[in-house]
């Protein structure tokens, strides 16, 4: 056997498929999942990024929510938390390239399902968004607020 040769016994016509999504695996992929499925596999809870609750007390973040400027919101949250776009993408379910275009103003977030996914993924308190922009599973009783929020009430 020459250096660099492999002893792959599979016939060249056989195709391996990803166990996650069923797409055809690259010949250089020696695993059972494609890269996208491997990356999106559930991480241990400790490895998942999180946005601290005190971020929502920031005036700029609140202003972006009022204006429904989700690109500015994502950028401000990332500035306050030193989070990468990949981390925010993992939290929200939006892709990193889409978040990049959103933050730069090239795209606008108008799809209500994506808006709800973004707000839920970021953990934005309902007192800042209102119940119309949230899923019913996160509804809390009226008057319930998270500590440290600045809602403008006296």
Distance CA 116, CA 119 (A): 5
Distance CA 51, CA 58 (A): 13
**Residue 122 CA from chain centroid, whole number:** 8
Whether 80 has a pLDDT exceeding 80, the answer reads yes
User: How confident is the prediction for the chain on average, in pLDDT?
Assistant: 77
pLDDT tier, 49 (very low <50, low <70, confident <90, very high otherwise)? confident
A 10 A CB-CB count for 89 gives 19
* 51, 78 contact by CB (below 8 A): no
* Distance between first and last Cα of the chain: 80
Distance CA 112, CA 98 (A): 16
Distance CA 16, CA 19 (A): 9
pLDDT score for 92? 87
pLDDT tier, 130 (very low <50, low <70, confident <90, very high otherwise)? confident
């Amino acid at each position: 056997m020459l250096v660099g040769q492999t002893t792959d016994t599979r016939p060249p016509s056989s195709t391996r498929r990803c166990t996650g999504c069923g797409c055809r695996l690259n010949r250089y992929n020696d695993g059972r999942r494609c890269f996208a499925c491997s990356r999106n596999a559930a991480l241990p809870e400790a490895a998942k990024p999180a946005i601290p609750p005190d971020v929502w007390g920031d005036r700029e973040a609140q202003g972006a929510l009022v204006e429904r400027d989700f690109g500015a919101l994502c950028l401000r949250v990332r500035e306050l938390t030193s989070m990468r776009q990949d981390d925010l993408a993992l939290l929200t379910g939006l892709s990193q390239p889409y978040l990049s275009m959103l933050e730069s103003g090239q795209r606008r977030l108008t799809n209500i399902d994506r808006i709800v996914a973004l707000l839920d993924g970021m953990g934005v308190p309902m007192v800042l968004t209102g119940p119309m922009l949230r899923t019913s599973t996160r509804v809390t009783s009226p008057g319930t607020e998270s500590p440290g929020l600045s809602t403008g009430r006296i």
